[in-house]
Structures are given as structure tokens and as C-alpha cells.
A and B are shown apart, each in its own frame.
Chain A
Amino acid sequence: MDKNRTARIVGATVLSGVFVAAALTGCSSTPSDNDSSGSTEYTLWDPYPDRDASSDWAKAIDACAADIGITIKRNAGNTGDTVKDLTTAAAGKLPDIAMVDNPKVSTLADAGLLTTTDDNGLDVSDIQENILTAGQIDGKTYGVPVGANTLGLYYNPAVLEAAGVDIASVTDGASLTAALEKVVASGKKGITFSAVGTEEGSFQFLPWFWGAGADLTALDSSEAVSALTLWTDWVKNGLAPQSVLQNTQGTSWDEFKTGEFGFAENGSWFKSDADAAGYNSIQIPGENGKPAPAPTGGEFITIPIQKDTARYATSVKIVKCLTEGNTGADSLGYVAPTAAGQEAQLAADPTLEGWVTAVGDAKPRTADNLGVKYGTISEQLYTAVQNALSGGLSPADALAAAQKAASEKLG
């Protein structure tokens, strides 16, 4: 009896040990399982999980695949996951085409995961210059934009008329503040935007920052302080609500659509929504009378490094197909990256002209060779905005602390 029990116990122990060991080895990824070299199936990763197989974007990809005579396997995940997946994937398992948010291109290029146009032979001559710079580091180009969007100043004509504001008079920060005061005096709320403590907050602050003449390498310059003071005074004087500190761009748009606000800073992706509601937009006013350069949004199409370099030729064809004309950009709601594509978009919808001009004046966030430094600078920038708008620090102190922290981290 004792021997049987002992035997059973030992057997159970051995089995459980084997089970644990098997589970552990099963969990580790086996490298060369899904190698697709030599096949005509190309993998494409994009960050649009909400655009499913029936969406225009998926159809655009299928059309390109049919044109070239290959199959494209699409994998849609969130941008953050895409960057994570790309950096943790083994070299042989990178996708043929990877689409990432434009500020992240330099991170991946820095990590040595992307090919340059010298490596893959992509011709970028017809891509609009100013939006291409997000993918350029030290003179080398690592990808092309599938399209671009940018920020503008929407206004509610009904509210402005009731307040006696002429939109043509809004040409810089001071005239905009005067217009906001009139709107508030007429009983409505002034302006809504997003100053949340994430990249969205930096994105929304940049037009005013650049419009004042400030530079991201010097967050504590007097121009930067004046830009932040503009925003801080709006919140302090009741021209912008406290909720801007918590708003995302989506929430801010919901607020604007209640009809209570005169102005909203938001992006070109809401154009059709604005048209339906009867709102118009102008470019964000800069301090020297010209429109301020706004930051560009939109993903880049990149070609990661592959073991089999013969695949680049076909990958280049896929990229060309998606960026030529306006099908790709239209399906994602962007302004097309080439002049020809933009003409096609204007022919279909002449009211897009304002946004096309805005994209032409826009500036990518990682331009000026900022590259991987942008992430750190942006974090300090939105922290400073939050500190100033919430009344914790004065704009000058907040930006001084931000610049100090950024220079310490960047060394």
C-alpha cells in the first residue's frame, strides 16, 4: 500500500514537472515558423483596427494587390502596439510594409528596422516636400506619408453673428482674444480645444507655439512663454473652459457640436462633420499676421528590412500604388501626399481647398532633425501646458522647468 502511494506521488510530481516545462517551452516563440520569403504573399501592418475588411481602406489595399498580381495579408493593430511589435519582432518576421504614426518613424529608423530609399529604390520625387520631412533623418528618407491631416480653427457662424464678430478680423492671438471676449459677452462660451496630458495636448498646442515663433529645442524662450500665456489667460479669464485640461480632441469636438461655443481648434478629419453642421474653418492665426504652421498627423508607409532583399521591388510597387492618386488618402480621410492626388481631391470636392493649403503650410513634429528627441520634448511640453493652465505654475516657470527636464533627459 505504501509503495503504491509513493509511486503515484512520484508519478504525479514528474508529470507536473513535465507539464510545466512543456508549457514554458511552448510559450517561447519559435523563430523561423512563419517565414514568408519567396512567396507572393506580402504582409502589411497598419494601425487601423476599426477599419475592417469592408472599409474603403481595405478595398484600396485589395485593389493594389490585384493590380500587382500578389496577395497582401493585412494586420491591423493600434499604433503603440505596432511600434512595440516591430521592435520586439525577430529580424526575419518583420512585415513587408509597416504603417506607423509619423512621429514614430524616426524611432524605428533609429533602431535600424527600416530601409532607406537608397536601399529599396522608392522614388519620392512627387511627394509633397514639407510632409515628407517627418521620415527624413540626416538626409536619408525612411518612408512616405500615406496622406496628411492638420489642425485648423473651426467657428460657428451663427454664434459669431449673434456676437457681432467678423471672422476676417481674426488675424492673430490678440484679435482672436477680442473675438472670444465678444462671444462670451453675448452669452456663449469662447473656444474649446484639447490640452490633455498626452501627445494630443502637445499636438494642439504646437500651432500656437510655432505661430509665436518658438522652437521645440528651446521650450523656455520668450516666444514660447507668450504662446502659453495666451492659452493660460483664456482659461483664467473664462474664455476657455476648465475642461480643456481633460478633453481629448474627440471630446472637444463633442463640446463644440453642442452649439455653445464660438470657436474650436480641431483637425481636418472633422471636415465632413463640420459641413453637415454648418461650421466653417480658417487656418490658425499666427503672431506675425500669417497663418501659423500646424503639425501634421497621418501615418507613414515604411518598408522594414527583410532578409530577402528581392522583396523590396514589389513592396515599392505596393507603396506607390497606395500613395499615388487619392484613393488611399481618401479612404483614410487624409489630404493626398502628391500634387496630382490633391488635384484629384479638389476636383471632387472644391471646399477642401482650405485644408489643402493648411497641409501645405504644415510642419511635421519630428522635422528639423528632432527625430527621437521629439517624444521627450513633447512630454515636457504637455506637462508644462497642464501646469500653467491649471494654475500650478506660471507659464514662464512651467516652461523653464520643462526645458530643464528635457535637456537633462536628452543629455
Chain B
Amino acid sequence: MTAMQTVPRTGTGGGTDPRRGVAPTPGATRPAERRAERPAQRSQRLRHQFVAWGFIAPVAIYMIVFYAYPLFRNLDLSFRDYTLASFITGEAPFVGIANYVEVLRSPTFWPALGSTAVFTLGSIAVQFALGLALAVFFYRRFPLSTTLRALFLVPWLLPLLVSASIWAWMLNSDSGVVNAALAVFGISQVNWLTSPQTSMIGVLIANIWIGIPFNLVIMYAGLQNIPDEVYEASSLDGANAWQTFWRITFPMLRPVSAITLLLGLIYTLKVFDIIWIMTRGGPGDSSTTFAIWSYRLGFGGGSPDLSPAAAVGNLLIVIAFVFGIIYIRTQRRTEDEL
């Protein structure tokens, strides 16, 4: 089968091929030619370069001010020792990697890393699977399907404070609705958010519920871009429903899946509100992820430990960065195959 152009024109999927680079500016010349050009040509080339910089300047300034500078500040914060006195005196001694060592040696480090991994991977896996299942379900239009699909968006639209508070009430150990429903089936009280064993499950359930609509919407859009001819051809070849899904739909959704998973992953790594409102990191450290830990060190605990908090934050950025690199490499490999 010839490779057909199936990459959907969704926002960031597909994208530019980094190998192609920027289109050559008008008048750009190779070094050998530059020696031979006349002054008028050179001044025109300079003017065009100036114009090019003029275009880039606003976005460059924006990126530097709102992306590069805070990142730099955070790194600076993590290499110094910031205390409350630093706000007054403005001084913060340089301590090198002492904060990172303190963070890595902390007894919370490995539990937090484990919790972050469990929370992120667990959320993504279930959100993606359920989102995809729902997208396939809604692919066939039936009466009220649009209304139902709109209702499925509600978890995504609610403010996180509202969702998290309501889930915290529903999962209340003694008087929550969930335990009341379980009691009807004869299951004894589960201490969802107050037991170290189940607190992570509690926040996972809430986060999955909130994340399904995002996956549903994007996978649904991805499904629309699969041409009908492929399905017709496969049904002529005698494929049943499961084979159609597994051998046709799923591989063709690969670029969309990749971007959905990446966006979901990076978002879930940073999830803070839900866990903080429901358990504040759980009894002890049982539902403490890196994001929670960073906030608790900086603002939630007894004293503001801003430098270790910045160190934890930087570790989180590194993790997200690693996944971003993996994604770009996978993209490049996919485009090589095409």
C-alpha cells in the first residue's frame, strides 16, 4: 500500500521539518559571491537582514522576558540559599549544588519520584485509553450524540478548585457518596484520601476524570481525518471491528496520539491543584509528587525553603524536557519513514 498523506492538519501535529530550516532570505549570498558584490547590493542585503531581525524582535523579547528570564531566575534560586532574610537584605549566598544534594538525599525524594511516575503514567494510560474508546464510540453519529459529547466536556470546563473539592467530598471516608454506594454492594469503608495506601488512587481517579475530555476531543478530531476509503477497502478485505480498529485506526492515529500523549504527559507532570486540594500530598508523603513537593517546600510548610523548592522545580523541568526530546526524536523517525 502506498504511503498516503494521512497526517492531519491539527495544530501542532506534523509541524515543520527541522532539517529544512528557515527559507533562504531574499538576497542571501554565499561567501564567495559576497566579495564580488557592489556596495549598493551589500547595503540592501543589510537592510533586508535588519527587516528580518525586526520581525523576530518582538517575539524574541517576549520569549526572553517571559521564558528565559524566569528560567534563569529559577536556576539562580536553586544555586543560592534564599531565606526570609534575603527578602530584606537582598543577599543570598551562593551554595553551588548543595540544594540539589539536599533534595536528592531527602527521604521524600524516592517516594515523590515514584508517586510522580505512578500518577503521570497511570493518568495518561487510562485517560488516553478511555478518551480513545469514547472517541471511537462517538464516531458513529447517533441521535443526541452531539449533546452527549458536549456533556462529556464538562469535567474539562469546570474550574479545578470546584472539581477537586467535589471529589474530595465524594471520596470522604465516613460520609462520602462513593463509600455509601460501595456499602450498597457490601464493600466495607475505603479510606480513600486518609489512608496512605489509597490516597494516590483517590487523586488518580479525580485526575483521570478531568483529563478524559481533552483526549476525547483530540482523538475525535484525529479520527475525522482518516479517509473513508481506507475503511471501505478494509471492509472489502473482510476485516472485523477489532481488526479495523487495531490495524487501521490505531496506526493511522499515531501522529495525533503522539502529540496527545506528549501534551498530556507534560501537563500531568505539573498537576498541582487537584492533589493539593484533595490531600495536600496525602497522609505523610503518600501522594506527594514533585510539583506538590516543590510547593510544599516553598510555601506550604513551616518555613519558606525557596531554594530547595526551586531545585525540585528544576528537576521537574528536566524530566519534562527529556520527554520532549523523546517526542521530537520519534517525530523525526516517523517523518523519515514517510
Contact in complex: A390, B194 (CB < 8 Å): yes
Contact in complex: B88, A112 (CB < 8 Å): yes
Q: How many residues of A contact B (CB 8 A)?
A: 44
What separation, in Å, do the CA atoms of A374 and B302 have in the docked complex?
8
Contact in complex: B302, A393 (CB < 8 Å): no
Contact in complex: B194, A246 (CB < 8 Å): yes
Verify if B317 is at the interface (C-beta below 8 Å from A).
no
Beyond A375-B303, A379-B301, whether A390 also contacts B50 by CB under 8 A is no
| Chain B residues whose C-beta falls within 8 Å of the C-beta of A374 in the assembled complex | 302
Interface residues of B in 274-309 (CB under 8 A from A): 280-281, 283-284, 286, 301-303
Beyond A9-B54, A374-B302, A375-B302, whether A20 also contacts B284 by CB under 8 A is no
| Chain A residues whose C-beta falls within 8 Å of the C-beta of B284 in the assembled complex | 383, 386-387, 390, 392-393
Give the residue name and chain of the A residue nearest to B286 (CB): A392
Verify if A369 is at the interface (C-beta below 8 Å from B).
no
| Chain B residues whose C-beta falls within 8 Å of the C-beta of A391 in the assembled complex | 195-196
Beyond A20-B65, A241-B174, A243-B172, whether A13 also contacts B88 by CB under 8 A is no
Verify if B135 is at the interface (C-beta below 8 Å from A).
no
Give the residue name and chain of the A residue nearest to B280 (CB): A197
Beyond A376-B302, A379-B302, whether A111 also contacts B88 by CB under 8 A is yes
Contact in complex: B194, A6 (CB < 8 Å): no
Contact in complex: B168, A10 (CB < 8 Å): no
Contact with A along B68-94 (1 / 0, CB 8 A): 000000000000000011011000000
| Chain A residues whose C-beta falls within 8 Å of the C-beta of B47 in the assembled complex | 6
Q: Which 4 A-B pairs have the closest CB atoms?
A: A375-B302, A390-B283, A379-B302, A242-B173
Beyond A111-B88, A246-B193, A379-B301, whether A6 also contacts B283 by CB under 8 A is no
What separation, in Å, do the CA atoms of A282 and B259 have in the docked complex?
62
| Chain A residues whose C-beta falls within 8 Å of the C-beta of B61 in the assembled complex | 16-17, 20
What separation, in Å, do the CA atoms of A375 and B51 have in the docked complex?
57
A50 to chain B, nearest CB (A): 19
Contact in complex: B54, A13 (CB < 8 Å): yes
Contact in complex: A87, B84 (CB < 8 Å): yes
What separation, in Å, do the CA atoms of A374 and B303 have in the docked complex?
9
Verify if B175 is at the interface (C-beta below 8 Å from A).
yes
| Interface residue from B51, B87, B189, B302 paired with A10 (Cβ < 8 Å) | B51
Verify if A221 is at the interface (C-beta below 8 Å from B).
no
B124 to chain A, nearest CB (A): 27
The A contact surface, by secondary structure, is helix
Known: A17-B58, A241-B174. 20 other contacts (CB 8 A): A6-B47, A13-B57, A13-B58, A87-B84, A88-B87, A110-B84, A111-B85, A112-B88, A196-B280, A197-B280, A198-B280, A242-B189, A243-B175, A245-B193, A246-B168, A246-B194, A372-B303, A375-B303, A376-B303, A405-B107
Verify if A389 is at the interface (C-beta below 8 Å from B).
yes
| Interface residue from A17, A393, A409 paired with B57 (Cβ < 8 Å) | A17
Give the residue name and chain of the B residue nearest to A242 (CB): B173
Verify if A24 is at the interface (C-beta below 8 Å from B).
yes
Contact in complex: A243, B174 (CB < 8 Å): yes
Verify if B185 is at the interface (C-beta below 8 Å from A).
no
Verify if B55 is at the interface (C-beta below 8 Å from A).
yes
Beyond A375-B301, A379-B301, whether A243 also contacts B173 by CB under 8 A is yes
| Chain B residues whose C-beta falls within 8 Å of the C-beta of A327 in the assembled complex | none
Interface residues of B in 78-126 (CB under 8 A from A): 84-85, 87-88, 107
| Chain B residues whose C-beta falls within 8 Å of the C-beta of A87 in the assembled complex | 84, 87-88
What separation, in Å, do the CA atoms of A251 and B232 have in the docked complex?
60
Give the residue name and chain of the B residue nearest to A112 (CB): B88
What separation, in Å, do the CA atoms of A376 and B302 have in the docked complex?
5
Give the residue name and chain of the A residue nearest to B58 (CB): A16
Verify if B234 is at the interface (C-beta below 8 Å from A).
no
30 A/B residue pairs, CB under 8 Å, sorted by A: A6-B47, A10-B54, A12-B54, A13-B58, A16-B58, A20-B58, A20-B62, A87-B84, A110-B85, A111-B85, A111-B87, A112-B88, A196-B280, A242-B191, A243-B173, A243-B194, A245-B194, A245-B283, A246-B193, A246-B194, A372-B303, A375-B301, A375-B302, A376-B301, A386-B284, A387-B283, A390-B191, A392-B284, A392-B286, A393-B284
A113 to chain B, nearest CB (A): 7
Give the residue name and chain of the A residue nearest to B196 (CB): A392
Give the residue name and chain of the A residue nearest to B61 (CB): A20
Interface residues of B in 166-216 (CB under 8 A from A): 168, 172-175, 189, 191, 193-196
Give the residue name and chain of the B residue nearest to A244 (CB): B194
| Chain B residues whose C-beta falls within 8 Å of the C-beta of A196 in the assembled complex | 280
Contact in complex: B195, A113 (CB < 8 Å): no
Verify if A377 is at the interface (C-beta below 8 Å from B).
yes
